[in-house]
Structures are given as structure tokens and as C-alpha cells.
């Protein structure tokens, strides 16, 4: 099983963090006791700019969850189709050759699902197996690769595609003055990415998927997620997220690597989700990584923010393009998310 190609797509509306801060101050500054808190939070996340689904002025026109979700469907189809087309081109496969499509998102809802709507937009095979997955959040990029790999393990002559679409800006709660909502308004951006995973009987020069591991931590439902109501998606983002990294990640990684005769020092590429500065610092610390091990993850955070499940796929794409280690080198792709849980994917370059 190999990762044969990756492609991404962003909405055309990009704003610097300074422009987004000005908009947030206009929205909230007169409602907060400490007006300078917004600027501090926007600075602390170390994001330089983000793509948004809509022009900035249009967000004030979204009067309901239904209107925001309609925008999600429209933009998700645009960026999702583009990401699939680019990933397929990178892998050298036609859209009609795709046998299974796994779609992940946690920022919008659609029935018929996003993958079904893409069937009417792209020349995909009518026999395509569709697997829409909702609710995994930030971990879904890694989990989606793992599930696509599971599929082609059973069908080694076939090709599976993972599509992640996250339009976080469309979940913004303008009346929520919680620290979690203020942080998320400065951290999360919009975009999509797709990954082609080919079976062992297909050609490909990308990294081989050696093994995958899921790890669930009982009793941690309140660490991260959404409260969903008539107002839409309201962020749940606990200060315990870095603690989850500190408590669990090292043992999970060490145990997984040991099963395959490896240790952390053998890994030559670390492809991590852009969870935010505190999360990344905790990952770096508990895994005792070299200073530059997560360089591409930090770079992605600075350039486009945290895109939930899409982020780790952007880091994977840049690693494929610019930072491939020597052939045969081990790599580890990983993410953490609501549940609370981890997903680990062992690669061989």
C-alpha cells in the first residue's frame, strides 16, 4: 500500500492575521472587559494568515446555522473537487479509476453527503464505494489515511482516495465570548486536501503504509469537540489538550514503533497535525524530537492556520514534495482529536 499522490485546494479569500484581528475587534472589543485580550490571543497562536470560505464582509450576512451550512456545502464542493483532481493528477490516475472515496469533515452537514454530491460534479465511476465520516475532527486526516489503507489492504489492485474538507470559519459563533471561541477564531482556517492510497498491486513511488494504530482515551469526551444546537457548531476546546499529549503520546508512539522493531531515533520524517503552539511544543517535548523535526508543521500553522483534519495532509504533501528522506527510511504521520484519541500511521519512504 502506498500514498500515491496528495493535492490541496483553498478558497480564494486569504486574509492576514492583522486583517482578521481588526474584524474580530470590530465584532467583540466593545463586549469584552479586557479589550486587549483579543489581540493577545490572536498573537499567541502564531498564525500569519488564513483562507476563508467567503469574503470577510459576507460573514455578517449569515443569519442562521442553515445559511452557514448552505455556504459550507457550496464551498466544500468547489474545494473538494479541486483537491481530488489535483491528488489524482499527482498520482497519475484518472478519476474513473478511483474505487473508493472516504470523506471526512467536522465543519458542516449534508445529506446527500458531500461525496454523493461530488459524484454529480466529477467523472467518478458510478460503482465508486463511498464512505462519509463525520465527527473525528482534527484526528480525521490520519484516521482517514488509515481507513483508506485498510480498504486497499483488502483490495490490493484498487485505489482509494481520502478527501478532507474543513471550512472552520463557517462555524464561528459571533455571540460566544468564551476563551475557547476567541482562540478558535484566531487559529482555524479553511481548505481541503485529498490523498490517493494505492494497493500493493498498483504502481507508485510514494511512501509505503506499513501499519496503523488507533488509541482511544476513555473518559475524555469533554476535552475537544462541538456542542451542536440551533445556533450551529459551538467549539469545545479544553486547556487539557496539551495535557493529553503529555500523558499519552510518548507511550503510544514508543509502543507502536517497538512492534515494528523501531525506536523514535529511527524515524526520519515526523508528519504531525498543526494543533497549535502549545500542542506542538508538547509533542516536541514528550517525543524528544530534534529542533527541526516538526518544521513543516510549524510552517503550515504560520502560513494557513489550523485546518482541523486537513492540516496533517498539507504537511504530508509538502513532505512528499520538498522533504523526502532517503528510500527505506521510516516516517510517522500522526494526529490527535476529539474522543480524545490518537491515530498513528507508520510509513516507509
Say if strands 330-337 and 269-272 run parallel, antiparallel, or are unpaired.
parallel
What's the gap between Cα 94 and its chain centre?
Answer: 24
Clarify whether 138 is annotated catalytic.
yes
Do residues 237 and 171 touch, judged by C-beta distance below 8 A? no
What is the Cα–Cα distance from 15 to 22, expressed in whole angstroms?
11
CB atoms within 10 A of CB 167: 31
Helices and strands: H and E segment counts in the chain: 11, 13
Cα→Cα distances 333→57, 145, 210, 317, Å: 37, 10, 11, 12
DSSP 3-state assignment of 339? coil
Question: Residue 261 region, left (φ>0) first, then alpha (ψ -120 to 50), else beta?
Answer: left
Location of C-alpha cell 483490495: 155
Separation between Cα atoms, residue 41 and residue 187, nearest integer Å: 9
Helix (H/G/I), strand (E/B), else coil: 207: coil
Residue among 138, 163, 244, 245 flagged as catalytic: 138
Residue listed under C-alpha cell 502560513: 303
Give catalytic residue positions: 138
Amino acid at each position: 500500500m502506498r500514498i500515491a499522490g496528495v493535492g490541496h485546494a483553498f478558497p480564494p479569500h486569504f486574509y492576514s492575521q492583522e486583517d482578521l484581528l481588526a474584524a474580530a475587534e470590530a465584532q467583540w472589543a466593545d463586549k469584552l472587559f479586557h479589550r486587549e485580550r483579543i489581540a493577545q490571543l490572536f498573537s499567541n497562536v502564531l498564525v500569519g494568515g488564513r483562507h476563508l470560505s467567503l469574503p470577510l464582509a459576507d460573514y455578517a450576512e449569515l443569519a442562521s446555522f442553515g445559511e452557514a451550512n448552505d455556504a459550507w456545502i457550496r464551498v466544500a464542493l468547489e474545494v473538494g473537487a479541486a483537491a481530488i483532481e489535483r491528488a489524482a493528477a499527482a498520482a497519475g490516475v484518472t478519476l474513473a479509476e478511483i474505487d473508493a472515496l472516504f470523506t471526512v469533515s467536522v465543519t458542516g452537514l449534508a445529506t446527500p453527503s458531500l461525496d454523493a454530491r461530488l459524484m454529480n460534479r466529477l467523472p467518478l465511476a458510478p460503482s465508486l464505494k463511498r464512505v462519509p465520516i463525520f465527527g473525528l475532527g482534527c484526528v480525521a486526516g490520519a484516521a482517514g489515511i488509515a481507513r483508506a489503507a485498510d480498504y486497499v489492504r483488502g483490495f490490493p489492485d484498487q485505489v482509494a482516495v481520502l478527501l478532507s474538507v474543513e471550512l472552520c470559519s463557517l462555524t464561528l459563533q459571533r455571540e460566544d465570548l468564551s476563551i475557547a471561541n476567541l482562540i478558535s477564531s484566531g487559529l482555524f482556517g479553511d481548505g481541503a486536501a485529498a490523498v490517493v492510497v494505492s494497493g500493493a498491486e498498483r504502481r507508485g513511488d510514494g511512501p509505503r503504509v506499513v501499519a496503523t494504530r488507533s488509541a482511544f482515551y476513555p473518559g475524555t469526551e469533554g476535552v475537544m469537540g462541538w456542542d451542536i444546537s440551533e445556533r450551529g457548531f459551538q467549539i469545545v476546546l479544553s486547556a487539557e489538550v496539551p495535557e493529553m499529549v503529555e500523558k499519552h503520546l510518548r507511550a503510544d508512539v514508543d509502543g507502536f514503533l517497538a512492534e515494528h522493531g523501531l525506536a523514535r531515533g529511527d524515524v526520519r520524517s515526523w508528519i504531525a497535525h498543526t494543533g497549535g503552539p502549545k500542542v506542538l511544543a508538547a509533542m516536541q517535548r514528550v517525543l524528544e524530537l530534534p529542533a527541526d523535526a516538526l518544521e513543516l508543521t510549524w510552517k503550515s500553522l504560520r502560513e494557513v492556520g489550523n485546518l482541523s483534519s486537513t492540516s496533517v495532509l498539507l504537511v504530508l504533501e509538502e513532505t512528499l514534495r520538498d522533504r523526502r528522506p532517503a528510500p527505506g527510511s521510516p516516517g510517522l504521520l500522526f494526529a490527535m482529536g476529539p474522543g480524545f484519541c490518537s491515530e498513528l500511521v507508520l510509513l516507509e519512504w
